[in-house]
Structures are given as C-alpha cells and as structure tokens.
Amino acid sequence: MFSNTLRATLIALASLAVAVSAEPSLSLKVTGPESVQDVDNLKLVATITNTGDETLKVLNDPRGALSQMATNTFTITDATGARPSFTGIKVKYVPSTAATAGAFTILAPGQSVEVEHNLGAAYNFTLPGAGAYDIHASNLFYIVNPDSSISTVYADSASAHSAKVSGRLAVARPRLGKRATYVGCSSTRQTALVSAASAAQSYASAALSYASSHTSATTRYTTWFGTYTTARHDTIVSHFSAISANTFSSFTYDCTCTDSGTYAYVYPSDFGHIYLCGAFWNAPTTGTDSKGGTIIHESSHFTANGGTDDHAYGQSACKSLAISNPAQAVDNADSHEYFAENNPALA
C-alpha cells in the first residue's frame, strides 16, 4: 500500500514538474545608443528570447516589440516623469484573426529574434525637451496555443534602456499634397472599398440615430460601453455625430500595407487617410469585424472625431472592458465598431 501510494505521489509530482516546465516563458531586452543627435537616429533593438522548454508561436502584435509598426510600444520618461507626445499610428487588430493568418513568429526553446524600432517615427520629444530618457518596451505578448486558443505572456524585462536625446526632437511626417482617393489599390480593391465606404456610412448614421434616441441604459449600450451615465452617453453621441458627418467615399484609402495580421491603421492627426492591411481584405463587407466596421473603428481614432484609443481588441475583450472600466470602453475604438455593427443584433 505504501509502495503504491509513494508511486502515485511521485507520478503526480513528475506530472506537475512537466506542467510547470511547459509554461510559456519569454525574456525581453532593449538595447541601443546611449546618446543620439536628432531623434530620427533613436533606433533601438528589442531582443525577444524563448526562455521556456516548448516551441512558441508569438503573434506579431503591432502594439508590441515584435512589430516594427510605429505604434505606442514604448513607455518613455525623463527624470521628472515627463513623456514625449505619441505621434504614431493606431491600428485595428484582432489576435484570433492574426493567428488564423499565420502572422506570428516561431521561437524554439532558447531562440531569440531581434526587431529594430525607430522611435522618431512614433514620438515627438519637443515638449519635454532634450535630455536623458528611460525607455521601456511593452512586455505583453500573445501566444498561439497548440489548440489554437490565444493566451497572454508577460516577458521578463531587463532594466530600462537610457538614452540622451539632443538636436532635432521631432520628425516631420510627409503629407500628401493633392488628395488621391486610392493609393496602390487594384481595381478589385477599389470596388470593395466603394461598398465598404457605403456600409460605414450606414453604420455611422444608424449608430448616431440609436444613441441619440436612447437616453437610458439599453442592452446594446451597456454591452459595449458599460454602466450608463449621462456624461458617457453624451460622449458616445458626440463621437458618432462627428463620425456620421464624415464622407467616407471621399477618404483616401492606401492599400500598400502588407501586414497579414492587421486590418488597418491611421495617424490620428491625418484626418481622412486610412491605411488598409491584409486582414481587411479577408473581412466581410458588413457583420462582425467587417470592412465597413473597420472604417468606423479607424475613423473614431481621428482627433477630429474624438480621438479614441485601443484599450481592448475583439468582442470578448470589449465586453469585459465595458464591465471593468466603462470610462475606457467609451474611449475604445473596437467598442465603437461593435456598437455600430451591432452583430449579433442587440436592442
């Protein structure tokens, strides 16, 4: 009896050890120059290493260290806590869609990958000024599990990278002179965009009509924006008033982005210019995470339309956000999209 009990205990302990060792584990290190003349020379390298025992599929999340997109990937502060202004892009991204598209990096145990980031493309240091800065990269990563589910891992991060910045503190981004409706779009894609713009126009108009005429809590409102308050409701009405006034058929649509895991992105200050990526073209015209809805999402990011942020992606995460943090839900682009798409329909 004792022998059998001991054997069972040892087997259980061995199984536990295997389970513990199989936990996904990453490390993140940021390196680069200690001093730069002109912010466009502030280029850092993020090194991501699989420190676990299993091969990992790590999503190339555009908000994270595995992507070179000019998103708000870094936390940058000077000695007083002041931060440079974020002037980069805001994206629509759904981890499950990216996983299906194979937009991930495979890391074997012990394997590392290095990704260069140009901070001058995403941050304006003019307001805090020249000086020394501590720079941290986001250590949140999404893992595609063997059963195709998605989980999150926080990488072990080294201490902040410190760098002194002087000279030119901001990089001027090229602007289009005469607006073109399409940039790098095939005739097939132009046709798809005509339908998408029309769908977005209908979504925006219907969302404004609903929000304006429902001045108390409804299932549709609380699902996406959480507990009803007059102030938050007024914010939503204000956003959709601005968005519905947009003429989406006259926007500039740039089809040159090739990132298969991302739907689209915008520069919030560059009103009416939307960059469309790989996932957009596989989306339906209407419905959940649709082409029309993506235009609503990206339009909500424009400063002129309210300047929403990306606090959560995907319907499940947005529903959770509405419960846990209604103030962020009202500021969340995907929440606006799902409210407008209303799929499945909520009263």
Task: State the catalytic residue, choosing from 34, 54, 116, 298.
Answer: 298
CB atoms within 10 A of CB 119: 26
**Contact (Cβ atoms closer than 8 angstroms) between residue 117 and residue 44:** yes
3-state SS, the chain, equals CHHHHHHHHHHHHHHHHHHHHCCCCEEEEEECCCEEECHHHCEEEEEEEECCCCCEEEECCCCCCCCCCCCCCEEEECCCCCCCEECCCEEEECHHHHHHCCCEEEECCCCEEEEEEEHHHCEECCCCCCEEEEEEECCEEEEECCCCCEEEEECEECCCEEEEEECCCCCCCCCCCCCCCEECCCHHHHHHHHHHHHHHHHHHHHHHHHHHHCCCCCHHHHHHHCCCCHHHHHHHHHHHHHHHCCCHHHCEEECCCCCCCEEEEECCCCCCEEEECHHHHCCCCCCCCCHHHHHHHHHHHCHHHCCCECCCCCHHHHHHHHHHCHHHHCCEHHHHHHHHHCCCCCC
Structure tokens at 75: 């936390």
Quote the CA–CA distance of 63 and 70 in Å, as a whole number: 8
Tokens of 110: 């012990």
Q: Is 316 exposed, middle or buried (0-12, 13-18, 19+ CB in 10 A)?
A: exposed
Contact 338, 288 (CB under 8 A): yes
Please indicate whether residue 34 is annotated as part of the active site.
no
Active site amino acids:
298
